[in-house]
Structure 1
Amino acid sequence: SSFFVGLSKRTNQRGAEILADVFKDYAVSTVPVLEGLHLKSFCTMGGPGLIVVGSSEPAQKTLKIMQQMSDHRYDKLTVPDDFAANCVYMNLPDKGHVLLHCTTEQYPESAKVFEKLKDRMLIPVSNAEKVKVDGGLTCCSVLINKKANI
């Protein structure tokens, strides 16, 4: 496993170094964010080994850098709209693989791409207000890995 840290106006090299110090058992790679506020503004994990990325030139360049930095070969799902690439993947004990993604109303072409993912429960969520301030679905989520009671 590894971490990709987007270097932008919001996160600097020192932040990446602190993350690497905390997670010593993981590879931490820095990636320049050429446009947007965050790496997750145009690139997130859509499931185990699946990177969801926007189709813009800066997004695709960043993905290429990430692929060059990692020994792992990720599958790629490219969506036409960069903001639509900001999705939230969860593996829930009672539901299995779940992906929160943009709605058809917001990004019709990108929503069609998500619909091709047949191996997970897809839940469209509107991001219309958050996107006005460059916010994504990941801005409104805190994922907690809770062990099931045995």
Structure 2
Amino acid sequence: MKKFVIAVSAIALATTAAFADVIADRKAVMKENGRQVGVLVKMVQGEADFDAAAVMAALTKLNENVQAIDVAASFPPGSDKGDTTASPKIWEDMAGFQAEVDKFKAVTAEAAAAPAQSLEALKPQVAAIGQSCSSCHETYRIKKG
């Protein structure tokens, strides 16, 4: 019986640790996405000078991160528990969530394929990226505070 309790405890601990890693991984991706979008937003808001090379680098990195998102691997059942702002709606409507991620993938791929060469061209790209982020976060993220 003692061995059984230890085995069950070990499995529970491993499962908890695995979900913690999944949560940490997806938080790291989102944080990196925020950094890259931040580079672009600063230019659009006039807080930084337009820099075509920086735009290309930010869009390339953002697109790489977004294209690598695997909803099933990043949001497995049970990973809604713990230190996360992922809404339970993700697991209630996985198809809707996947559709939002797919839209984000399309928007970032389009922007990365034709990085803006001017501030005026960057504005609609940033608006489209921001709209996609907001649309998903509105439904599938728990608001902080």
TM-score (norm 2): 0.25
Choose between structure 1 and 2 for higher RCO, CA contacts under 8 A separated by at least 6 residues.
2
| Greater helix content | 2
TM-score, length of structure 1 as denominator length: 0.25
More strand by share: 1
Higher Cα radius of gyration: 2
